[in-house]
Structures are given as structure tokens and as C-alpha cells.
């Protein structure tokens, strides 16, 4: 063959590889409202930036006539590219090739990009669309999964890992996304479960559809397994790009700063009036977040799960921050099992990746009751406590209204190494609210009073004056300053600037023993 003929052959092989499982299967993928692996990569990455690896890899199985079913690239497209000019590694399973099922060689391809990502310190994005372990390959496929999981584990806290679930993700395959930092699912076309509806029916007798068992809505509202649910793949890929903009490349770097067009000292007069006079009346914490962060832009994470706590990314003077805020509009902002787990994982992510934490507090306490106690709220609440206590990133806390008892401590208080703790004049920092306190302290006195209602009101007023304000805590230095609400943006930004060079190191240990 001449050189030109060899080049032509290369081009033909490339074209063949790009067709994956063939046009018929590509059409069938499109008919399901799904993109192919290559189309997903093209949309996700900057135009022309994709560098593909292992295009000519084929599986090695000969079982069940597999030697006659070979496809260049073998069920996954892997490589690297850029998002807004920043390097990422990517793998996208190709459902058109044997259902995207995981073979030994496919696992090797995925492991190769993960190893490269670790070597150069860049995030990994995985797009899942697969029938699971390639049945014909038996234990080799299982071994392949284990190799991937092991890399997910070692990469955790070193490079950000994002999973997009754009099709089936069943059986043990679900554990790779579960080990990554953020999971996103498409509505109607993706599902995740350990055992499918048929097995469920056999074992438990339950009749359940794929969607009911493991669709996007289930995992973003009920189980909390996934962080984002999107209407379609275009939205999902755009969301991954957006999310990526808040993250650093690895745990040794900081997230990229964006030029800030929003005045730093912007006063937000509405915040001086946002807290209702009646302490039992809610307000919307999103309004506070929007008023404080750059241009009101907030990327909420886990938005449909445990809505009593809000978590997400924003920027303050161009710097990426993680926001954690109680939501008084939902269950009065109470902390419960799900809220604690949700926020704890987020706090740990931010801490691992040098993203400062801004915590907005309005929390009446932990949700009481047997449901919570039997579910282990003690252990789960301890996760959030632990997460804040171990975090060494800059931590700025603003208490807006209620901050009672254990929940006061958990929500990044001064003694959990909160760096700068502000309070609004409306803050109530105490062991408990006036109602409970008056009942406990003066039950006998109130009962014996001539007018018990009047006596109760008087005792409550006395307690409120003494304890339910920010000044009692400020008197002890537990609150660094009581600030005017409308000036919150400026004060938080100035605090973050002050903390830019913060260095804090935890004691050396093999690893911690977070209460799981």
C-alpha cells in the first residue's frame, strides 16, 4: 500500500468507528429522543476541542459468537477536550454498540481517561447510557466495573467528577455515578436502579414501572441519589457546562474567578424589611440569596430534595462560593435527616475543592419525632456538624433570624471554626424559642398565676428581651458583628476577601470516621 492508501484506510476506519453500532441503531437512538455518545460530546465540549483516545479498541470476547460482533471503539467514546477553554476528560457510553454494555476493554478505556485526569489534575465527566455489565463477558465485565469504582474512590476529593445519566444505568453500574460528586438525570429517558421492575416483582411482589422505580423524578425528589433533573439532553449538557464553571480543576487549585459586573457595595434595601414581624411567618430565602450574590445568579444543587435547606453555587465579587441556607418557607427551615445529609455532602465537596462557604441561618431546630429518631437523625445530623467542623475553607455565616439549640451549633457556628459570623438585628440565638423556654422554666409559676395567659406572655417577653436577640451572643464574641441586612452583600464579600489567604490544617490521620 502506498502512503496515500494507508492514510485513506485510516480515514475509512475513523469513519467506521464514528458510526458506532451503525446507522440503524443511531436512528433508533434518535427515535428515543436521545443523542449518540459522539453528539453528546460535541455539544458538551468547546467546538473542535475533542481529542479522542482508543478509537480502534475492540473487545476480546469470543463467547456466544461475540467474535463476529466487533465494533471499533467498543461501546464507549473517550478522550479529553475543553469547556470554556478548561481541560476536562470525558467518557460517553455508546448505546448503539451492544447497548453500551460494559466489557473488559470498555472498562480499560474508561480507566485510561480517569488515570489521565488524575495525572494532570482535571475533572472527569461520565455520560452513562448502558445496559450494564456485558453479559457475554461474565466476570471480566464485573472486574471492569470494580476497576472503575476503585478509580472513582481514589479520585474523590482530588478532581471533580460529574455523572450524566442519559439512558439506562442499572445493576452495580449505578455505583460509579453514586461515587461521583454530582449526578444529573434526563426526565423520561434515564433511570437508575440496582434491580429492575421484573426482579422487584419476583422478590417483593411489587408492581412498579422503570420510571417509578428509578426515574429522574424519583432520584431527585425521593432518594436524593441524583442532584439535577433536566427536561432533555441539551439542557443537561448545558447544565454540566454551567456547573463546571464554578469548580476548580482539582483540589490544589481554586475555582476560576469571573469578572464581577455587580457593584460590591450594592445596598439591598428590601433586606431591611424581609423578616416578618410574626416569628412564625415564613419568607423566601431565595430572595435573600438573590439579593446578596453577584447578579442574583445562583445555581441550585439538589433543588427538589429536602427543600428545607438550600445548597448551591454562586459568586461573590467573582469568586465561586458554596451557599448553604435554611429555607423558612419549607417546613419552617427545620433540619431533618435528608436536609442534614444533603448539606453535609455539599459542605464536604466545597471544602475538598477550596470553595468558600457562605451560610445563611434561619433554623428553628431539628425536626422532632419517632420518624426522625428511628431513622437515625442523630447520626445524620452529626454528618452536617462534622462537615462544618472539619472544613478548613473560609466560612462566613450570617444569622438572619432563628438559630436555636443544636441547630445553631450545626449551622457553622463560631466554635465549629466559623471564621466570620455575622447576625442581623432580627437574629434570635438561644437554646430554644421563647414559647418552649417559658413553659420549661416557669410552668409552675404560670399555672399558679392569677392570669396564666398574662403570666406566660410576660415571661416570654422577658426571655425574648434577654436571649432572643443577637446581642447576647455578640456580647460573648460568638457573633463578630451585628450588621444591617441591606449591607449583607458588602460585608460578606469583605469577609471573604479578608479570608483569601486563610490556612488551616487538620491533624494528620489516615482518614476520618465521619458518622455514616
Tell me if 499 sits within 8 A of 440, measured CB to CB: no
If the CB atoms of residues 142 and 455 are measured against ligand HXC, the closer one turns out to be: 142
If the CB atoms of residues 98 and 468 are measured against ligand HXC, the closer one turns out to be: 98
Q: How far is the CB of 131 from ligand HXC (least distance, A)?
A: 2
If the CB atoms of residues 173 and 218 are measured against ligand HXC, the closer one turns out to be: 173
If the CB atoms of residues 69 and 270 are measured against ligand HXC, the closer one turns out to be: 69
CA-nearest of 347, 338, 485 to 411 is 347
If the CB atoms of residues 57 and 97 are measured against ligand HXC, the closer one turns out to be: 97
Binding flag, residue 134, ligand HXC (CB under 6 A): yes
Count CA atoms closer than 13 A to 57's CA, side-chain side: 21
Q: How far is CA 435 from CA 64, 209, 432, 442, 451, in A?
A: 72, 47, 8, 11, 17
Pick from 131, 248, 322, 433: which binds ligand HXC (CB under 6 A)? 131
Interface of this chain with ligand HXC, residues 191 to 250, rule: CB under 6 A? none
Binding flag, residue 433, ligand HXC (CB under 6 A): no
Tell me if 251 sits within 8 A of 157, measured CB to CB: yes
DSSP secondary structure, 186-238, as one string: ETTT-EEESS-HHHHHHHH-----HHHHH-HHIIIIIS---SEEESSHHHHHH
CA distance 218 to 225: 9
If the CB atoms of residues 204 and 270 are measured against ligand HXC, the closer one turns out to be: 204
Q: How far is the CB of 24 from ligand HXC (least distance, A)?
A: 9
Interface of this chain with ligand HXC, residues 330 to 359, rule: CB under 6 A? none
Q: How far is CA 307 from CA 231, 262, 302, 304, 446, in A?
A: 20, 28, 8, 6, 38
User: Under 8 Å CB-to-CB from 39, ≥6 apart: which residues?
Assistant: none
Pick from 121, 157, 172, 188: which binds ligand HXC (CB under 6 A)? 172
Binding flag, residue 466, ligand HXC (CB under 6 A): no
Pick from 132, 381, 394, 470: which binds ligand HXC (CB under 6 A)? 132
Entry field: residues in the chain: 516
How many residues bind to ligand HXC according to rule CB under 6 A? 16
Which span sits near ligand HXC by CB under 6 A: 76-84, 169-177, 375-383, 412-420?
A: 169-177
If the CB atoms of residues 136 and 250 are measured against ligand HXC, the closer one turns out to be: 136
Q: How far is the CB of 64 from ligand HXC (least distance, A)?
A: 9
Tell me if 110 sits within 8 A of 148, measured CB to CB: yes
Binding flag, residue 170, ligand HXC (CB under 6 A): yes
Instruction: Record the cell numbers describing residue 84, joined without a space.
Output: 470554556
If the CB atoms of residues 133 and 438 are measured against ligand HXC, the closer one turns out to be: 133
Q: How far is the CB of 52 from ligand HXC (least distance, A)?
A: 22
CA distance 56 to 75: 11
User: Under 8 Å CB-to-CB from 221, ≥6 apart: which residues?
Assistant: 304, 305
Q: How far is the CB of 50 from ligand HXC (least distance, A)?
A: 25
Backbone angles phi, psi at 459, to 5 degrees: -65, -40
Binding flag, residue 165, ligand HXC (CB under 6 A): no
Interface of this chain with ligand HXC, residues 44 to 103, rule: CB under 6 A? 98-99, 101
CA-nearest of 254, 251, 258, 252 to 299 is 258
If the CB atoms of residues 136 and 421 are measured against ligand HXC, the closer one turns out to be: 136
Instruction: Record the cell numbers describing residue 460, joined without a space.
Output: 416570654
Which span sits near ligand HXC by CB under 6 A: 128-136, 326-334, 365-373, 462-470?
A: 128-136
Give the interface with ligand HXC as residue ranges (CB under 6 A).
Answer: 98-99, 101, 131-136, 142, 145, 168, 170-173
Amino acid at each position: 500500500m502506498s502512503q496515500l492508501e494507508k492514510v485513506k484506510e485510516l480515514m475509512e476506519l475513523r469513519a467506521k468507528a464514528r458510526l458506532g453500532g451503525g446507522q440503524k441503531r443511531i436512528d433508533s437512538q434518535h427515535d428515543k429522543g436521545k443523542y449518540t455518545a459522539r453528539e453528546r460530546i460535541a455539544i458538551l465540549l468547546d467546538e473542535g476541542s475533542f481529542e479522542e483516545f482508543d478509537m480502534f479498541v475492540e473487545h476480546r470476547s469470543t463467547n456466544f459468537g461475540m467474535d463476529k460482533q466487533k465494533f471499533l471503539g467498543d461501546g464507549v467514546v473517550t478522550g479529553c477536550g475543553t469547556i470554556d477553554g478548561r481541560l476536562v476528560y470525558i467518557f460517553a457510553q455508546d448505546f448503539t454498540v451492544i447497548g453500551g454494555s460494559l466489557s473488559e476493554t470498555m472498562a480499560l478505556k474508561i480507566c485510561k481517561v480517569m488515570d489521565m485526569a488524575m495525572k494532570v489534575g482535571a475533572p472527569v465527566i461520565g455520560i452513562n447510557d448502558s445496559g450494564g455489565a456485558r453479559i457475554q463477558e461474565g466476570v471480566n465485565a464485573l472486574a471492569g466495573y470494580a476497576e472503575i469504582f476503585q478509580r472513582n474512590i481514589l479520585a474523590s476529593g482530588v478532581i471533580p467528577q460529574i455523572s450524566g445519566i442519559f439512558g439506562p444505568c442499572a445493576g452495580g453500574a449505578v455505583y460509579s455515578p453514586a461515587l461521583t460528586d454530582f449526578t444529573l438525570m434526563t426526565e423520561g429517558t434515564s433511570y437508575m436502579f440496582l434491580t429492575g421492575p421484573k426482579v422487584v416483582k419476583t422478590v417483593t411482589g411489587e408492581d412498579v414501572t422503570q420510571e417509578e422505580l428509578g426515574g429522574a423524578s424519583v432520584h431527585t425528589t425521593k432518594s436524593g441519589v441524583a442532584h439535577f433533573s433536566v427536561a432533555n439532553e441539551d439542557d443537561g449538557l448545558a447544565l454540566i457546562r454551567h456547573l463546571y464553571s464554578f469548580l476548580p480543576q482539582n483540589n490544589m487549585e481554586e475555582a476560576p474567578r469571573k469578572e464581577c459586573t455587580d457593584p460590591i457595595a450594592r445596598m439591598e434595601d428590601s433586606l431591611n424589611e424581609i423578616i416578618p414581624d410574626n416569628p412564625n411567618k415564613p419568607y423566601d430565602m431565595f430572595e435573600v440569596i438573590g439579593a446578596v450574590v453577584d447578579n442574583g445568579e445562583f445555581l441550585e444543587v439538589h433543588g427538589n430534595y429536602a427543600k428545607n435547606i438550600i445548597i448551591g453555587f454562586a459568586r461573590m465579587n467573582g469568586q465561586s462560593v458554596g451557599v448553604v441556607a435554611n429555607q423558612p418557607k419549607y417546613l419552617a427551615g427545620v433540619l431533618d435527616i435528608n436536609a442534614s445529609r444533603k448539606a453535609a455532602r455539599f459542605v464536604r465537596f466545597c471544602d475538598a475543592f477550596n470553595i468558600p462557604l457562605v451560610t445563611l441561618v434561619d433554623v428553628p431546630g431539628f425536626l422532632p419525632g419517632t420518624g426522625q429518631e428511628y431513622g437515625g437523625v442523630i447520626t445524620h445530623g452529626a454528618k452536617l456538624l462534622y462537615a462544618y467542623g472539619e472544613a478548613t475553607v473560609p466560612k462566613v455565616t450570617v444569622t438572619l433570624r432563628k438559630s436555636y439549640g443544636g441547630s445553631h451549633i450545626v449551622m457553622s457556628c463560631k466554635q465549629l471554626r466559623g471564621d466570620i459570623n455575622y447576625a442581623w438585628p432580627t437574629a434570635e440565638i438561644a437554646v430554644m424559642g421563647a414559647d418552649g423556654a417559658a413553659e420549661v422554666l416557669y410552668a409552675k409559676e404560670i399555672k399558679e398565676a392569677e392570669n396564666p395567659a398574662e403570666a406566660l406572655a410576660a415571661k416570654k417577653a422577658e426571655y425574648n428581651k434577654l436571649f432572643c436577640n443577637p446581642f447576647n451572643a455578640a456580647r460573648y464574641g460568638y457573633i463578630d458583628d451585628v450588621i444591617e441586612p441591606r449591607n449583607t452583600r458588602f460585608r460578606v464579600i469583605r469577609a471573604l476577601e479578608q479570608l483569601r489567604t486563610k490556612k488551616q490544617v487538620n491533624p494528620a490521620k489516615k482518614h476520618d470516621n465521619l458518622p455514616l
